[in-house]
Amino acid sequence: MNFSLTTDYAIRIILYLNVHGKSTSKEMARDLQISHNYISKVLKSGKFNDLIENKPGRNGGFLLRKTGAEISLLDIMSITENNLFFNSCLENSKQCDSCKTFEESLCPLKKQYQKIDNYLREKLAMTRISELSK
Amino acid sequence: MQMKRATNYALRIMIELSLSPKVAVPTLSKMLELQESYVIKILIKLKKAGLVKAIAGVNGGYSLNKERSQITLYMIIEAIENSIKINRCLEHDQFCSRSATDYCAVRKLYMELQHGIENEFKQVTLERLLLEKSSS
């Protein structure tokens, strides 16, 4: 049930950019102990376009589009995690297919998952990159 | 990060077992619309965790191995999921490729979240779950 490795790396990269400003993928690979290939692949995939800008050219590099105070862990995980819902039954598109004992709207398990899911999202949304950089 | 399907089935099985003194595998398999072999696989994990016991014989089946009030959602989830830790660095070996386990601010937050999640699941017993069902 772990968060993905991509989540770990993305948080590291964004924390780094928040502290160091514009940086190249080589610099980040060196300082963050992440392979250079991986960093360029992830950053050039376009997934992080809302958060990270890629400035091409000789003095180019990557930099954040927002301040650290404007980026939450939830923003990052919404990009990196395929499923941020704690249980599949919380996804709108999915019917509760494995827990048929209860009326869906009354299911005490679902209520429990909802509570945990809300707790997680709230905490992750409250936690800003600026705070973690201190 | 999501709970496994097998865990959802395990919870459903445990709820069924807490409603009757004994349930046969074919009954569970029909109810869950799952192959018997898969149901047995889940039951074996639950048995290993000491949550259910097998009753041999023609009228055999499975039953709870403890009182409903002694079985928490946490125990059931733990029996099926390989790990219920939200991040790799919270596992027993505390592995971090940056070797930052001791001071990492993100890990500190993860520890808090992990604690919050586990506490929620530890508080809910099968007994309480069924009470909520009947009162809703």
Smallest CA–CA distance, residue A45 to chain B, in Å, is 22
Contact residues on chain A for B112, CB-CB shorter than 8 A: 123
Placement of tokens 């072999």 in the chain: B37
Q: Which residue intervals of B20-59 are DSSP H helices?
A: 25-32, 36-48
Q: Which are the contacts of B96, defined by CB distance < 8 A and separation ≥ 6?
A: B88, B89, B104, B107
Structure confidence at residue A97 (pLDDT): 59
Quick check: A112 and B84 CB within 8 A? no
CA distances from residue B93 to B51, B87, B89 in whole angstroms, order as listed: 27, 12, 8
pLDDT in single tens digits along all 134 residues of chain A: 688 888 999 999 999 999 999 999 999 999 988 899 999 888 888 899 999 999 988 899 999 999 999 999 999 999 998 878 878 888 775 666 555 556 666 677 888 888 999 999 999 999 999 998 87
> Of B1, B4, B98, which is closest to A33 when you measure between CB atoms?
B98
Q: Which residue intervals of chain A are DSSP H helices?
A: 5-20, 25-32, 36-44, 73-80, 108-126, 129-132
Structure confidence at residue A103 (pLDDT): 64
pTM of the prediction? 0.84
Complex ipTM above 0.85? Answer: no
Residues of chain A contacting B, Cβ within 8 Å: 1-5, 8, 11-12, 15, 32-34, 73, 81, 83-89, 98-102, 106, 108-109, 111-113, 115-116, 119-120, 123-124, 127, 131-132, 134
